[in-house]
Amino acid sequence: MSRSGNQTSRLESVISYILIIGVVTSLLLVATGLILYCLQGSLAIQLEKPEVYIHGNDFFTFLGGLLTGSFQTSKAFYFMTLGITVLILTPFIRVLASVFYFGVIRDAKYIMITLFVLIVLTISLALH
């Protein structure tokens, strides 16, 4: 079953790792947040408190705020938000890796295709 010499398999292992590491990291952070939330004595699903909703202006500023600690919220919600952010970043990094890969093998068509996906996502994340 080996297809040695086919470079695509390298892209495949990189993408496979990005996906699994992203999802596992994210779910661990989310789980930490959930446990902290339960330890605060409440198991309730909140629908009305504003702090249970993700808020911000654009994703990249939001990400910066999250990492530099200027993000004001409880520890439980902080971990959950961090986990959800890692989740959002997972497919994003996957596209970045694809652009990079098609750049390395100089496949112009697929550089264009992956760049289109990357640019649309970046704009959509940066807006609001």
Binding stretches for another protein (CB under 8 A) = 1, 3, 8-9, 11-13, 15-17, 19-20, 22-23, 26-27, 30-31, 33-34, 37-38, 42-50, 52-59, 62, 77, 80-81, 83-84, 87-88, 90-92, 94-95, 98, 109-110, 113-114, 116-117, 120-121, 124-125, 128
> Nearest approach, Cβ of 118 to another protein (angstroms)?
10
> Nearest approach, Cβ of 121 to another protein (angstroms)?
6
The residues, any chain, with a CB within 8 Å of residue 33's CB and separated by 6 or more, are 75, 76, 77, 78, 79, 80, 81, 82, 83
DSSP state of 55: -
Nearer to another protein, 41 or 69 (CB): 41
